[in-house]
Amino acid sequence: MRWFHHLTQGAAAEPRDVVFNSQDARRVRITFSVAAGARGALTWSDWSLEESGPVNLVRRPGLPFTFDGLTEGRDFPFVRDSLLGMKPWSGQFEYWHEPPVLRVTRPDGTRLRASWHHAAVLLRGQVAVCLADTAVIRRQRDEIVRVRELFGARTLFLMHDEIRAMGLDATCTAGGRDIAHTLAANLEACRAAAGDARVLVWNDMFDPLQNAGAGYYLVRGDLAPVQARLSPQLGIANWNHGKLEPSLRAFAARGHWQVYAGYYDGSPEDLRAVLPVLDRTKGVTAVMYTTWQDRYDDLEAFARIARGK
């Protein structure tokens, strides 16, 4: 579905488009909100809600585009979205652009039901790959091997974190696999490609106390069982600040070595209260200064506290 409206502030009007997939829902709630502290007048006008064409259409083996009763290549040409991942530039995804034109050899006015898969664009243009797709796994393995060769890396940090779309296509669920199996199998394939290098991964998607559960964004299925499927040789970068001690204990009980990911653009002094928890947890080997805002002015103070000074 496509939601379209005009956002008006003062005399300027700016159209907005958002595409969403209602999936199995029969009702949809649309709400408007203004960020705390915002000032000025805000009005909504000329809004509409309509069915969308195949915007951000994904084509790969196992993900066909179908019209009921019609054959692609005979009754209609191959359908491809040339703007997928190409706007505003290559590698970037947008919520809405004009979908590809569909031409079929049927009389005008014929009603057709179409089915397709599309990339789920979330938050600030984030798109997740399918972790069960063989081409994805080949790319991951290739990157791991090349990073090791290029840098002589003895430890590799994998980015299996905040994966907001999984289990939504036949590739993920083929053979009756559950989503926890898909995620664990992909991670193990990456770990095996690293050879004798140590492998570290963020905790959140493997932590039932954080994102590894049911109902996480567009993850279909329950990820809670994934923790029990991890190799104990895997290192965990733990940033579960809300439930840190039970999370650390759970991974430690399974034999994982851990790194505490602290700071997060707060105060380096926050580390003092955490150090006793880390000291009494087996297998915590290091703390990591973690900044998302490129703030390194607190790095030296953080390091001094980490050393007990």
Phi, then psi, of 220 in degrees rounded to 5 = -95, 115
- The answer on pLDDT for 62 being more than 60 is yes
Q: How far apart are CA 6 and CA 261, in angstroms?
A: 42
Give the pLDDT band of residue 175 (cuts 50, 70, 90): confident
- The domains of the chain are located at 1-52, 54-127, 134-256
The pLDDT tens digits for 20-48 are 888 888 898 887 777 777 777 777 778 88
Output DSSP code: residue 3.
E
pTM of the model: 0.88
Alpha carbon 32 to its chain's center: 25
**Closest by Cα among 297, 62, 28, 19 to 174:** 62
Write down the pLDDT at residue 1: 61
Q: How far apart are CA 201 and CA 199, in angstroms?
A: 7
Average pLDDT, the chain: 91
Write down the pLDDT at residue 193: 97
Give the pLDDT band of residue 12 (cuts 50, 70, 90): low
Q: Which residues pair with 66 in a beta bridge?
A: 115
Write down the pLDDT at residue 43: 74
Q: How far apart are CA 180 and CA 225, in angstroms?
A: 6
The pLDDT tens digits for 84-142 are 999 889 999 998 999 999 989 888 888 889 999 999 999 888 999 999 999 999 999 99
Give the pLDDT band of residue 13 (cuts 50, 70, 90): low
Phi, then psi, of 193 in degrees rounded to 5 = -65, -20
The pLDDT tens digits for 176-229 are 889 999 999 999 999 999 999 999 999 999 999 999 998 899 999 999 999 999
Among 85-89, 148-152, 248-252, 288-292, the range scoring the smallest mean pLDDT is 85-89
**Residue length, the chain?**
309
> What's the rounded mean pLDDT across residues 57-68?
91
* DSSP SS3 for 29: coil
Q: Encode 159-190 in three state secondary structure.
A: CCCCCCEECCCHHHHHHHCCHHHHHHHHHHHH
* DSSP SS3 for 304: helix
> What's the rounded mean pLDDT across residues 225-240?
97
Which tokens belong to 253? 């009980």
- The answer on pLDDT for 6 being more than 70 is no
